[in-house]
Amino acid sequence: MSPGFSGSSNGVGPDPLIARLHTDALTLVFLTAHEDAFAHNQKSALELPLTLTHVCRRWRALALAQPRLWTNFFWSPRESVAAALAMLDRAAGAPLAMRVSLGASIPNPLSDAARAAGHVVFNAVLLHLWHTVELDLSFCADTLESGHLTPLLFADVPYAMPRLRALRISLNAIGYAVQDLPRLNLACPQLASVALGAFRPRSLLGPATHLQMGGPMKVGELRRALQRAPNLRSLSLLFCDLTPGDAEGPPFDHQPFALHLADLTTHSLTLSSMRALETLELPLGRIQSVTTHTLFSNTPFSAAYDFLRVGELADVDTISIALKSLSVSTSAGLQRTFEGFDMSLSATCMQDLFHASPLLLTLRELTVGLEIWAEVLGVIVDTGATSLPRLEQFGMYVAEDDFSAADDDEEAVLRNGIFAPSLARIVVTLRGQQLPTRPLVRLFLLALGSVRSPAAPALPAGGITIAEDHRFRSDRVAVFSELLRDEIGARIRPPGPSPDLPERSR
């Protein structure tokens, strides 16, 4: 057999087709499988390369000669130290993606053995940071105070990681004083994404385009972090406790910040934190996407709505409204999104949104939760509008979980409806855990009939596109479609013969 081909290790019988692949082709198969493999811990990361090494001698030699097969590195205190060290050795100088956990939070403190194992692994990790492209490092307060992390976290000279593109660092501790945390002093010329948690940067994050921060923080500290990331395009603030005040040290006020920011996300900011963020005077008017999540916070929808400045948007062409979310987009690509436990549909906010008459004239796509459509339609009609002249797509979020029968007032609003002369598409998105029922489908058809258009596709001709939220059960489409066909069929079925006609003419 040609030395350029892989074949049977014992030379008996015909070779399997994959065993007769040229070595270069087989290497490509190995690496493609590695790229497609999903790993979440050390065992799953080693599953593919170890399997390849146990097929035959040739496959073993080939797998061991491919450093890229060993570059998906995981370690936590319950995993093998020997396997971790062997994996780092086999990775050679190939680009590493490392996820290292050096201890969980209380009430699970590290044992002496786990602490010692973590020290061994982290010392080995330090030797390979020069060719690491992704680093996800988490640790407990015990590990931080032990001094094991000093070379990386307490460096007087910026610690060099020349290939690093993504960094996530987090402290697994509750109530740890943020002011006692070290300021990260790093030199990463290719760094693009940084998730600092409660840590703060000491050196310039020049190339970074994404920054995620959390924990207690003064507005001045946030301003300084943004000034240290002049190329920033995406900012995420997660569970930040923002308070007014300047950062310690020399002022940076003369330096601009957020000049290129295109995406801002806030998650679970308290009302006071949101007010403090507003004092930073970010250029919200030109930021392409602004999203605020109020989960686990006391921020009411009305305050989040004011923060998003939805009323200042011009040429709005897409709106999506559900019980727990609101999304508004413009033809220029600006988007404002709210997500929370319950939007508690604010009549004041909805009036502010729809009473801007240009919005009703420019709207092209409207998607609304079935359970709140009557209320939203009522707000639209109260503006004096009789039509949505440019509406091309009307969508509904439909969920049996949220279903309740319409009362008389809601039915009256739905039966009056609104005119949409340009309507061309109807999209239904099914949600929830429960299967659709006939009363739900009947309410859907009543709501659908409230948007009237001579150009709308005929329902029996398949003018409704039915999609589903794949986070939930997948058999809802079949049930909903069958019930919909039955209801539509019952409404268009020709009437039966008149009882006054003789039998032969029926």
**Which residue, 55, 70, 85, sits at the end of a domain?**
70
- Judge whether residue 495 has pLDDT over 80: no
Strand 72-75 to 96-102 pairing: parallel
pTM for this structure?
0.82
Task: Output the pLDDT for position 397.
Answer: 93
Distance of CA 97 to the CA centre of its chain: 21
pLDDT at 4: 41
174 pLDDT higher than 90? no
Residue 181 lies in a domain: no
More confident residue, 219 or 489: 219
* C-alpha dist (Å) from residue 476 to 413, 430, 490: 28, 7, 21
Which residue type, as a one-letter code, is found at position 430?
A: L
> What backbone phi and psi angles, to 5 degrees, belong to 328?
-130, 130
* 46 pLDDT above the threshold of 80: no
- 419, two tokens: 């005119």
To the nearest whole number, what is the mean pLDDT of the chain?
A: 82
Compare 468 and 360 and report the one with higher pLDDT: 360
Q: Which residue has the higher pLDDT, 59 or 235?
A: 235
Taking the C-alpha atoms of residue 376 and residue 369, their distance in angstroms, rounded to an integer, is 9
> Measured between alpha carbons, how far is 253 from 226 in angstroms, rounded to an integer?
11
Q: Which domain holds residue 384?
A: 364-491
Amino acid at 179: Q
Q: Which of 70, 92, 107 lies at the terminal end of a domain, its last residue?
A: 70
Residues across the chain: 506
The residue ranges of DSSP E strands in 344-384, in sequence order, are 365-369
Q: Which residue has the tokens 């990331």?
A: 229
Residue ending a domain, among 31, 50, 70, is 70
Residue 20 in any domain: the answer is: yes
Cα separation, 506 vs 499, whole angstroms: 9
The number of distinct structural domains making up the chain is 2
Q: What is the DSSP string of 166-187?
A: EEEEEEE-SS--GGGSPEE-EE
Structure tokens at 254: 């003369």
Give domain status of residue 162, yes or no.
Answer: no
In a domain, 22, yes or no: yes
SS3 content of the chain, % helix, strand, coil (to 5): 35, 25, 40
Q: How confident is the model at residue 458 (pLDDT cuts 50, 70, 90)?
A: very low
Beta-carbon-side half-sphere exposure of residue 82 (alpha carbons within 13 Å):
0
Which of 266, 211, 265, 226 has the alpha carbon at shortest distance from 242? 266
Segment 108-155, tens digit of pLDDT: 677 888 889 999 999 999 999 999 999 999 988 888 888 889 899 888
CA of 332: how far to CAs of 233, 313, 328, 506, in Å? 18, 10, 12, 61
For residue 331, being part of any structural domain is answered with no
| CB-count exposure of residue 4 (10 Å: 0-12, 13-18, 19+) | exposed
Token couple for 94:
């190939």
According to DSSP, the β-strands at 132-140 and 96-102 are parallel
What confidence score (pLDDT) does residue 505 get? 37
Q: Is residue 369 part of a domain?
A: yes
- Tell me what pLDDT residue 7 has: 45
Residue 373 within any structural domain of the chain: yes
**Rounded Cα distance, 34 and 49, in Å:** 8
The three-state secondary structure class of 331 is: coil
Query: Coil, strand, or helix at residue 268?
Result: coil
User: What was the pLDDT predicted at 5?
Assistant: 37
In a domain, residue 456? The reply is yes
